[in-house]
Structure 1
Amino acid sequence: MSEASTGDVRAGQNEDQPRIPRLLKKTLLGLLVAGASWVLTSVLNQDKNQVWQLTVSVVLGGAALIVQYLMDFEQRLETMEASQKRRIREMRESLSAHHEQMRRAVDESFAKINDATELFSQVDRSVLRSDGVTRLARKYTQVGEHGSEIVKTFAQEEIGRLASLMESLSNGSADCPGENHDWLIDLTTCAKKTVYATSTSVDRDFWFSEPANRYLKAQEKAIKQRGVVVRRLFLVSKPEDRTESLEQLCERHREFGIDARIAVRSLLPPPAQVTPLNDFIIFDGELSYETEPDVEVMPAKTTLKMTRDHVSERINRFTMLWEATEPAEPDHQPEPTAASG
């Protein structure tokens, strides 16, 4: 109940309470007027006509009583009219505010619908598969409806991380702290033509870890099922760095179908000797996966770079090192080429 309605009820209650005293007051005033009329007519009526005196007194007393009721009725009518005007004004303000809220809600809803429609239209027009985006949106809303608070927060963090990755990929470069084994294995799974990689002492310990086993199996699957050519060049600085354990590691890679070689920098031709040695992997001649070491010579950062100039530079560097490691032999393995376009 509104304050105006409460005030009207209280006013009505207050008016009902003094009804008997006010009626008595009106009656006494009417009797007083009638008495005054009787006295006045007694003074003016020299013939002492009591009927005429009584008639005049009753008429004037009744008129006084009627006038009081008319004044009271007018007062009540004005109060009711003011109350109705106030209620109408409040109703108009309420309807106006409600209309504004509804209009704003409808506008926001249509804006969201337009944004969603435009977004999914762009997804449908994209060369990428759209079923994954639809499934992601649907499952994300289900997590929001049924998940606990920590699950909701975790889902939001993952969506934000994925959005940041997509934004970075659209700009031609993405990075993350440390060595991202998931990127490494996923990119190997996505490769269709070639995987050309260098390996320095920075990632030597990686080959004895569990992610390395999954990485090698992913490469073996790519070689056998999709015909992907995988080349790996183990880079060392001096001949004494070519140890027996490194030879065994290289042989293990060959068992997976990988064309693996060891390059000793000091034994390479002069152009290859001045080539910087660092870890990078070129997938299909279109994307370069690179790790950057920290002061302790451990992978501190992983970067994905897709710009044509950068990938072409990495392809040229790998080709120079590869050709300088062994004499070129006729084969049908494709040479790494920069992506067109």
Structure 2
Amino acid sequence: MPKMFWRIVITASAAGGAFLLTSILDQDDGDIWQWVASIVIGSAALIVQYLLDFGERFEKVDTRFNEILAATTLFSQVDGSVLRSDEVTRLVLGYTKVRERGGDIVQAFAEKELGRLAKTMEGLGSGSADCPGENNEWLIDITDCVKMTLDATSTSVDREFWTNGSAERYLAAQEKAIKRRGVEIRRLFVVRDTDEVTPELRALCERHRRRGIEARIAVRSLMESSPKVDDFIVFDGELCFETKPDQESNPDRTWLSAEPDHIEDRISQFSELWAATEPDPEPEPAAEPQPGVAPTAASG
């Protein structure tokens, strides 16, 4: 309504101005020329306003069309990719509902989560992604996706991990991968010297073996080169999950890498460590007593 009002005002002003101007410039030809000029100029002013308005509307339509075209192109790429388009659709619809119904704190949290997801997707698209601290959810989710092999080192950086609740979830995910998908899992517990091979560490290895995981203890001082070993996991020979330590050897950052050269280096390093490590001998079963023979007392 205000827009139409201003159009009428501008048109009337242009027509009135034209009438006044023609009456001042030409006072001999009567009122016909003045009326014709005012009507023509007023009409021209109205037409110009409509043309300007049409130009603005067309620009908005063109912008919207480009947005729709970009969205269509994006979704067509998603349809042709490994990432399922229905998951992307769920994400967009879920975010739209949050924007419509959520309060300020809910919207702020949704924005933060969406930004974190976008950062991860951008990172993986470029070959690597990272986040501060330990990310056990990444670890378990990737384990749920592995299809063939999982080769891992466990150093002092993540030794405390095996005592918290996430460790049990991680082991359960690995056991499921072994039993349901036939995944081969190997893990090396790396220590510096033989005095770090404690009964607790041996019990941890046995705990892994009961899940179907090949577990060994690698003592660096017994190896020829005594190599420095980072804490890493290679999934299917395609993705590397690494825990980076701080100055006190506590988990400081989680890093994912899909760079082929880096993956190849990690695979080679693990293969060399595994070949240089002997498996623990299987515990010998206790001898069954012969019928009619009393068991002998242990000496000493």
* Aligned counterpart for 1:163 among listed residues 118, 122, 125: 118
CA contact (8 A) 2:11 2:42 kept: no
- Cα-to-partner distance string for 1:288-326 (whole Å, 9 max, x where unaligned): 111110012111111111111111111111111112111
Aligned to 2:286: none
Aligned to 2:6: 2
CA contact (8 A) 1:4 1:87 kept: no
CA contact (8 A) 1:196 1:282 kept: yes
TM-score by length of 2: 0.79
**2-side partners of 1:126 and 1:112: how far apart?**
21
- 1:115-264 correspondence to structure 2 within 5 Å: 115-264=70-219
The reply on whether 1:313 has 2:265 as its aligned counterpart is yes
CA contact (8 A) 2:12 2:42 kept: no
Deviation of 1:86 after TM superposition, in Å, equals 5.5
Deviation of 1:128 after TM superposition, in Å, equals 3.2
CA 89–219 in structure 1, closer or farther in 2 if over 3 Å, else same: same
Partner SS, residue 297 of structure 1:
coil
- Cα-to-partner distance string for 1:119-154 (whole Å, 9 max, x where unaligned): 111112223322212222222222222222332332
CA 245–139 in structure 1, closer or farther in 2 if over 3 Å, else same: same
Which deviates more, 218-227 or 154-163?
154-163
Which structure has more helix as a fraction of its residues? 1
CA contact (8 A) 2:156 2:191 kept: yes
What do you get for the CA RMSD once the two structures are aligned? 2.7
Deviation of 1:182 after TM superposition, in Å, equals 1.0
- 1:107-122 correspondence to structure 2 within 5 Å: 107-122=62-77
**1-side partners of 2:188 and 2:269: how far apart?**
12
Aligned to 1:279: 231
Unaligned runs of 5+ in 2: 14-26, 282-300
User: Which residue identity is paired with 2:228?
Assistant: P
User: Which residue identity is paired with 1:223?
Assistant: I
Larger RCO, structure (CA 8 Å, separation 6 or more) = 2
Which deviates more, 79-88 or 222-231?
79-88
TM-score by length of 1: 0.70
**2-side partners of 1:265 and 1:113: how far apart?**
59
> Number of matched residues?
264
Tell me the percent identity: 50
Bigger Rg over Cα: 1
CA 3–189 in structure 1, closer or farther in 2 if over 3 Å, else same: closer
